[in-house]
Amino acid sequence: MKVADIKKLIETTQGQNVHPADGQVFIHQGKVLKDETTLEENKVLENDFIIIALCKGKSNMCDFIEWKDDKCLAMFQEVAANIWEVVDNFKKKADDLQVDLLAEIQLRNEMYEEKEALMSEKEDWARQKENLIMEKERLERELTMRTLLAQTSCSTLENRIRSDGYDKKMLYGFILCLLGLMVAILFGLILKNK
């Protein structure tokens, strides 16, 4: 009889779909028996014991053990059960560590996203700062040009005012000279007629 047939018998005797055949693993002398082999090929004798591990899920991790030989030493059964319990505990710890790892990865990803947002904001601030510096330089150049234009205009006006004042003085001087000349001519005519 093949191992697969024995698994089918265990499935039907224990209730349908309670222990499906594909979830059973036969272990004899530390070796997993393949479904296509027979008990004779695996050198299983009548007085040997077989451990049937009932596994669930794709991970093939066994959740419990059912003993099919009562002749097996109770101490060995207890040790094997303790080993499976330790394996289960490690599996639970591994699951907890996996959850913790995923949480840490999520936190790290959030930190990277926050860092990228801050770097982007920093670049925006740097661009704004650069624009403000350029605007300040443009306004300073404009202020300098306006100051120079105002100084030039004021100098030109001062020169015109001075030249106008000088021209007025020259004109007054010329008028006074003409008046003086006319007075002299009049005195000369008056003296000549007398």
* Per-residue confidence (pLDDT) for residue 18, from 0 to 100: 46
Gyration radius of the chain's alpha carbons: 57
Q: Which residue has the tokens 């008028």?
A: 175
* Per-residue confidence (pLDDT) for residue 60, from 0 to 100: 47
Q: Which residue has the tokens 């670049």?
A: 123
User: Which CATH architecture group holds 1-72?
Assistant: Roll (3.10)
For residues 21 and 11, the answer to whether their CB atoms sit within 8 Å is: yes
What are the boundaries of each domain within the chain? 1-72, 73-194
- Taken in order 54, 58, 61, 64, is the CA torsion positive or negative? negative
Tens digits of pLDDT across the chain (194 residues): 555 555 555 554 444 444 455 555 666 555 666 655 656 566 665 555 555 555 555 454 554 445 555 555 566 666 666 777 787 888 899 999 999 999 999 999 999 999 999 999 999 999 999 999 999 999 999 999 999 999 999 999 888 888 888 888 888 889 999 999 999 999 888 888 87
* Per-residue confidence (pLDDT) for residue 36, from 0 to 100: 55
Distance separating alpha carbons of residues 142 and 161, to the nearest angstrom: 28
For residues 27 and 50, the answer to whether their CB atoms sit within 8 Å is: yes
Task: Classify residue 43 as exposed, middle or buried by CB count within 10 Å of its CB (0-12, 13-18, 19+).
Answer: exposed
For residues 62 and 55, the answer to whether their CB atoms sit within 8 Å is: yes
Q: Phi first, then psi: give them for residue 192, nearest 5 degrees.
A: -70, -35
pTM over cut 0.75: no
